[in-house]
Amino acid sequence: MTASPYGPLSAYRPRPPAAHTLVPVCAGLVALASLASVLWSGPVDRPVALAFGVLVVLGELTRGTGAGAREAAPLGAAGAMAYALLGDVAGRPMQHGTGQTVTVVLAASLLGSVPRIARGGGPVLDPLARRVLTVAFAAVCFRPLHNQGVFHDWSGPAHVLLLVALLALTALCEALLAAAPAHARTGWPFGPLLREELRGMVGITSAVCATGAVMALAVAVAGLWALPVLCVPLLLTHLSYRRYAAVRATYRQTIASLARATEIAGYTPAGHARRVAELSGAVGRDLGLSGADLTVLEYAALMHDIGQLSLVDPVPAGATACLPRAEQRRIALLGGAVVRQTGVDAAVAVVVERQADPCREQPVAARIVRAVNAYEEKARDAGPGGGLKALEELRLAVADDYAPDVVEALARVLSRQGGTTRERLRRGQGRDEDGQSYRARYWVTHG
């Protein structure tokens, strides 16, 4: 391994690839134990189990698709939570245990996923594993105590508060189960990942928790006929959410198409904006950015070279990092003016405008775009082993050129991902399961 005067990059290697399989393994063990429990003691309250199973199947059949969906099957999730926290049905106490709860939810989820699996409609294992563990968590907290009569005298507001508290704890458990594997898989800081998961739960997940609690309360009074009545509001909410997600996806595609204008016009190499955006996003996550900050960073990285369209003579290979600072500043200001005319968020225009400023005066997003753009250009032009050479150039540059913390974050990301984005694309490596970063194959220190 090539030595580095800045410390071994091997220190930034991610955890072993098997670390992110812990959640599916635990879910499998819980599912096996639950199935064995049901086979040993036999199912109870079969009509109720069938009704909630049909509800979960319906939720899986209406599952949404698309990256970024926090809860793609809200109806199934609400039904599963309601079954785990179900106390009575029309005044008759329910006695099903944790094992039966997990078994019914697992069987129904698998059955409802069959059409999606046949169509190749995305990953199934990870969402299913998280659902099994979250349902098991909620059932373990509620069912044993309920079956022993501990909550028999809990009625009215006390029972409602109990369900709300259990659902809040379950939501926190789900966020941990989503953030921990992502941290193990990508090496990004755990805190920002967890905050992003919790922030994403404010929307559709809140509706899921509220519907699950209302279902459990309504069925206790009105019986199973309350289920189809309560399905309608959540299905309408899900439909609205999917339309909103489609609008956001179209908006992003429009920005990506606008960013390709420099490539089509011959000002920048093909794929340059996309590579800078992907690598900038990874560096931003490593530095703790999340939510709206990451979105602004992504859009600014996609459009960072759009100011070159105003030039009469194109910059050779679009390499603006080698231009004098005054020329870089002029192109950045032209780019910011173009971005403002497109109607994109003004924060994106600010990042584009300030990417040529001294790093101490730049916002974090502008520092990241500037460093990643320079790295991509230098690595592209340096030939074999260009990734390491480009990284060393950034580290040895004048202090006002590139922020040291951004350069070190870039080194960590490259160490995890294994080389430059261009080299990885040429070797045909794919994305991780979450679609946001490449698997580590070899380290940038190998050249």
Tell me the average pLDDT across 88-115. 90
Q: What is the pLDDT of residue 444?
A: 31
Predicted pLDDT of residue 108:
92
Least confident of 19-33, 137-151, 407-421: 407-421
Residue 232 in this model has a pLDDT that exceeds 80: yes
Selection from 422, 358, 353, 367 nearest residue 390 by Cα: 422
Find the mean pLDDT for residues 299-320.
78
Dist CA 428 CA 441 (whole Å): 12
Q: Which of 67-71, 262-266, 334-338 has the highest mean pLDDT?
A: 334-338
pLDDT bin (cut points 50, 70, 90) of residue 136 is very high
Highest mean pLDDT (candidates 79-88, 207-216, 225-234, 409-418): 79-88
pLDDT at residue 336 greater than cutoff 50: yes
pLDDT at site 315? 74
* Mean predicted lDDT score pLDDT of the chain: 78
Q: Give residue 189's pLDDT.
A: 77
Provide the percentage of residues in the chain whose pLDDT is more than 70: 83
Structure confidence at residue 71 (pLDDT): 56
pLDDT score of 245? 77
| Rg of the chain taking only CA atoms, in angstroms | 26
Beta strands of 69-205 (E only): which ranges?
Answer: 88-89, 92-93
Enter the pTM of the model.
0.68
Give the pLDDT score at 292: 82
Asked whether the beta carbons of 366 and 351 are under 8 A apart, the reply is: yes
Is the predicted pLDDT of residue 141 greater than 70, yes or no? yes
Which one is predicted more confidently, 219 or 13? 219
Answer yes or no: is pLDDT of 423 > 50.
no
How far is 215 from 275, CA to CA, in rounded Å? 46
DSSP state of 438: B
Q: Are 137 and 23 in contact (CB under 8 A)?
A: no
Lowest average pLDDT, out of 37-51, 75-89, 397-411, goes to 397-411
Chain-centroid distance, C-alpha 39: 37
* Percent of the chain surpassing pLDDT 90: 12
Confidence of residue 350 (pLDDT cuts 50, 70, 90): confident
Q: How confident is the model at residue 424 (pLDDT cuts 50, 70, 90)?
A: very low
What pLDDT was estimated at residue 3? 35
| pLDDT class of 83 with cuts at 50, 70, 90 | very high
> pLDDT at residue 193 above 70?
yes
- pLDDT score of 53: 92
Amino acid 248: pLDDT: 80
Q: Which of the two residues, 351 and 65, has the higher pLDDT score?
A: 351
pLDDT of residue 121: 66
- Distance between CA atoms of 347 and 291, rounded to whole angstroms? 14
Cα(249)–Cα(83) distance, integer angstroms = 34
The yes-or-no verdict on residue 445 having pLDDT over 60 is no
pLDDT at 127 over 90: no
- Asked if residues 254 and 296 have their Cβ atoms less than 8 Å apart, the reply is no
Domains by residue range for the chain, with CATH:
10-249 (no CATH), 260-446 (1.10.3210.10)
Contact 183, 436 (CB under 8 A): no
Q: What is the pLDDT of residue 435?
A: 37
Query: How many angstroms separate the CA atoms of 429 and 412, rounded?
Result: 19
Type and span of the H or E element at 92 = strand 92-93
Flag the least confident range among 153-162, 203-212, 311-320, 421-430. Answer: 421-430
For residue 285, is pLDDT > 80? yes
